[in-house]
Amino acid sequence: MNTRLIKLQEKLKDIADGVIVTDEKNIRYLCGFDYTDGYLVISKTKATLVCDFRYIEAAKIEADPTFEVFMMQGPRKNWLTAMLSEMNIKTLAFEDGAMTVKSYELLSKDIEGVSLVPLGSVITELREYKDEGEMENIIAAQRIAEKAFEHILGFITPERTEREIALELEFEMRRQGASGVSFETIAISGRQSSMPHGVPRDCKLEKGFLTMDFGAVYKGYCSDMTRTVCIGKADDEMKRMYNTVLEAQLKAIEGIHHGINTVDADALARDHIYANGYKGYFGHSLGHGVGMDVHEAPGVSPVGAGKELTTGHVVTCEPGIYIEGKYGVRIEDMLLFYPDKVVDITKTAKELIEIY
C-alpha cells in the first residue's frame, strides 16, 4: 500500500480533480523511481507515471506498482489531453513552488479546457514527517559521512589545501556508498572559518580552526554534519569558544523533546551562547529539517511563531560562534523524532581535536 499516494489523494479532494507532479524529488518520493524528463499524473482514484523510451523498462521494474506506467510519444498536447480526459480531470493542480513561469505557460497551452490551480505546500508538508524507511536511509547516509570524517582525520596535514580536504571528503563518501553529496562540501580554515558557508580555497590550511560541513546521499536521502578541529595548538580563547559551542549543543540536545516549539528549541543553545559573552555572534538558526533535500521544513529558528517538533521530524542541531576576520566554530548533529523518543544519530566524538 502506497500511503504517501493515499495521503496526497486525500488532500486533493479539496484542491482539484488531479495533480501533475514535475519535481524530480517529489516524483521519487511518491512512486519510488528516480528519473528525469517525466511526470506523475494523479487523480483521486488513479496514478500514472509518465516517462519516455529511455526509462520505460526500468520504470516497470522499479516504480511502485500502484502507478500505471505510460510511455509518452508524440506532442504532449495530444497524449496529455487524452489522459486527463480519461481520468476525468477538469481541474489540475501544479507544483507552484517548483514550476517555472515558462513551464506553466507551455502546460497551459497543452491542456486547453482544463483549469490549472496551485497545489501549494501539500507534498512539502507530507515530506516533512519521515516514515521508518526514510529514517533508515538518513541514518545510513549519516554513517557514510561519519566514515568519511574518520578517514579525513588521517588525511589532514598543515600542507593540505582547503579544496583538497573538501574533495577527499566527497571522494570518501562516494567510496563508502554514497550516490552523491548533500551539498557543496565546506572546508574552511583560519580566518575563513568565520564565514558559516565559506567556500574552500586552493591554499594551504591556515593555523587555527578548520570547519568541515558535509553530508552524503543514500537512496535519495541526505545526511548533514559539521565538525571543527584545530590546525596547531588552540589557545585559551579558542578553547573557550569551542567549549561554549559544544556546551550549547549538548544543552539543546538534552532539552529538545516531543512537543517543544522550534523557537524554544533554538533558545536552548542561543541563550547559553549569549550568556557567555558571544551575543550577536550566532547569526543563523539552530537547525533545519533534513530529508530528500538537505534543507527542509521545519526550521529550528529564533523567529516566527515556530512549530511543534514531533514524531517523524528529522532536524539538525548546529550552534555556532563566528567572529568576523578572526575565526569561527560550528558543531552539528542530526536528531530523529521517533514515536517515543528523540535520538541523536550522529556518533562522531566532539572533543576538540588538534592536528599538527
pTM for the full predicted model: 0.95
Three-class SS of residue 124?
Answer: helix
Q: What pLDDT is recorded for position 139? A: 98
Average pLDDT of span 138-167: 98
What would the pLDDT profile of 317-338 be if each residue is shown by its tens digit? 999 999 999 999 999 999 999 9
284-301 confidence digits (pLDDT tens): 999 999 999 999 999 999
Q: Which helix (H) or strand (E) holds 250?
A: helix 236-255
Strand partners, 320: 330
Q: Give 172's pLDDT tier (boundaries 50, 70, 90).
A: very high
- Please write the tens of the pLDDT for every residue from 35-44: 988 999 999 9
Say if residue 6's pLDDT is above 90.
yes
Q: What local confidence, expressed as pLDDT, does residue 38 receive? A: 94
Kindly state whether residues 95 and 166 are assigned to the same domain. Answer: no
pLDDT of residue 52: 95
- Domain range for residue 225? 132-355
Question: Quick count: other Cβ atoms within 10 Å of Cβ 25?
Answer: 15
Confidence label for 163 from pLDDT (cuts 50, 70 and 90): very high
CATH code of residue 269:
3.90.230.10
Coil, strand or helix at 346: coil
Residue 353 phi/psi, 5-degree rounding, is -105, 130
Computed over every residue of the chain, the mean pLDDT equals 97
35 and 157, same domain (yes or no): no
> Which amino acid is located at 293 in the chain?
D
Residues 164 and 237 in one domain: yes
Average pLDDT for 139-156:
98
| pLDDT recorded at residue 1 | 83
Half-sphere exposure for 272 (CA within 13 Å, toward CB): 24
Q: Give the residue from 79, 96, 127 where a domain finishes.
A: 127
Q: Are residues 137 and 40 in the same domain?
A: no
- Based on the domain organization, do 143 and 257 belong to the same domain? yes
Is 90 exceeded by the pLDDT of residue 17? yes
Helix (H, G, I), strand (E, B) or coil at 198: coil
Verify that 179 and 99 share a domain, yes or no. Answer: no
Contact assessment for residue 41 and residue 86, using Cβ atoms and an 8 Å cutoff: no
pLDDT for position 237:
98
Query: What is the DSSP secondary-structure string of 209-226?
Result: EEEEEE-EEETTEE--EE
Rounded to an integer, what distance in angstroms lies between the CA atom of residue 143 and that of residue 121?
31
Of 98, 127, 156, the residue at which a domain comes to its end is 127
Per residue in 226-279, pLDDT (tens digit) is 999 999 999 999 999 999 999 999 999 999 999 999 999 999 999 999 999 999
Q: Is it the case that residue 85 has pLDDT exceeding 90?
A: yes
Last residue of a domain, one of 76, 108, 127: 127
User: What pLDDT does residue 112 have?
Assistant: 87
Q: pLDDT class for 180, splitting at 50, 70, 90?
A: very high
Report how many domains make up the chain. Answer: 2
In this structure, what CATH number is given to the domain that contains residue 69?
3.40.350.10
- Yes or no: say if 15 and 122 are a contact pair by the CB < 8 Å rule: yes
Residue 152 shares a structural domain with residue 261: yes
Residues 337 and 226 sit within 8 Å (Cβ to Cβ): no
